Amino acid sequence: MGHVTKGAPKKPTINPKYLAIIGVAVGLPGVYLGKFSPLIPAALAVPALVWAADAIRRIAGYGLGTGVPSIGNLAIGMGVLTALVGLRYEPALGVALAALWGIMYGVIIGRLKILEIPVFTRCITELSVGASVGLMALLSAAAGGYTVDFFQGRLMPMIFLTGFVVAVFWATSMTIFHPFNACLGPGEKQTRTLKLAVGVAGIDVTLAGISALGVAGLNPSIMTLEAAVGIIFLGAAVWIGGYYAFIKAAIKESASVMWTGFPEAKK
């Protein structure tokens, strides 16, 4: 995966700066607003995850190919650690640490000439921050809302005891790297890729809702069954809507769409 120096990716339709501003300006407040309703951070996690998926697109657009999943998993690794720090002390601190970690990693990679990608430091920082914000919002939703005693009173004994939070971590990684991994090629377009990112983010939200069901079972006082089911329905709506938009765009932009029939059964 070293010394990738292909030409710059195609000019994006949506300015990455706008995605970054929306991702942080919407996602970070969403973590705090979970105390009013867990549906709020569940919904506001989506822009941050889509922003991170676009950052993967900009890095991999230089020709990484098989490096797409590994970069996504790297992002989620940084995101998980900084998200836990943010939820333990202060979400804004988690964002600052994610940015610092991304910058340090990008500078080290640049100094060692491991990947010669001009936008690497910026994009890996965006990935780290996007993953951190998205995860904090999802965990806030799953645990019934962020409070100052979130880690001691809610997160640790509730989310982790259900065990289902692992699926949320996995789905967050998938949301970040899968869209471009599935769409890469000469015909790839930013808008189509990000529509797929919205669909996969819906899966992530749905899994956070299922995790919330476990929290509701452990402590109904901080998470009601109705709120958990509401998160699941919200995630399903985003999931279906995103995939519908993606499939519609894929059919419209394809050279042709043909039915090949079902494969013949093996004799």
Q: How many domains does the chain divide into?
A: 1
Rounded Cα gap, residues 258 and 264, in angstroms: 17
Q: Return the number of other C-beta atoms located less than 10 Å from residue 37's C-beta.
A: 16
Tokens 């004994």 locate to 157
Where residue 63 falls among pLDDT bands split at 50, 70, 90?
low
Helix, strand, coil share of the chain (percent; to 5): 75, 0, 25
From start to end of 133-231, where are the E strands? none
Rounded Cα gap, residues 138 and 44, in angstroms: 9
**Does 12 have pLDDT greater than 70?**
no
Q: Please give the structure tokens belonging to residue 60.
A: 């991999």
Mind listing the pLDDT tens digit for each residue in 75-133? 788 888 888 888 888 889 999 999 998 888 888 877 776 667 777 788 889 999 999 99
- For residue 92, being part of any structural domain is answered with yes
Q: Please give the structure tokens belonging to residue 61.
A: 């657009």
- For residue 261, being part of any structural domain is answered with no
pLDDT at 155: 57
Under 8 Å between Cβ of 209 and 228: yes
Per the structure, the complete domain to which residue 212 belongs is given by: 16-251
- For residue 181, being part of any structural domain is answered with yes
The pTM score is 0.85
- For residue 141, being part of any structural domain is answered with yes
Rounded Cα gap, residues 49 and 84, in angstroms: 17
Tell me the pLDDT of the chain averaged across its residues. 83
- For residue 137, being part of any structural domain is answered with yes
- For residue 39, being part of any structural domain is answered with yes
Rounded Cα gap, residues 113 and 98, in angstroms: 22
Identity of the residue numbered 248: K
Under 8 Å between Cβ of 13 and 191: yes
Rounded Cα gap, residues 246 and 183, in angstroms: 10
Mind listing the pLDDT tens digit for each residue in 177-225? 899 888 887 788 889 999 999 999 999 999 999 988 888 887 787 788 8
Rounded Cα gap, residues 179 and 166, in angstroms: 20
Find how far residue 152's CA is from the centre of its chain: 25
- For residue 113, being part of any structural domain is answered with yes
Mind listing the pLDDT tens digit for each residue in 171-182? 998 899 899 888
Mind listing the pLDDT tens digit for each residue in 135-185? 999 988 988 877 766 555 455 556 777 777 788 888 998 899 899 888 887
Where residue 2 falls among pLDDT bands split at 50, 70, 90?
very low
Q: Which of 63-72, 99-108, 120-129, 239-248 has the lowest mean pLDDT?
A: 63-72
- For residue 48, being part of any structural domain is answered with yes
Rounded Cα gap, residues 88 and 202, in angstroms: 26
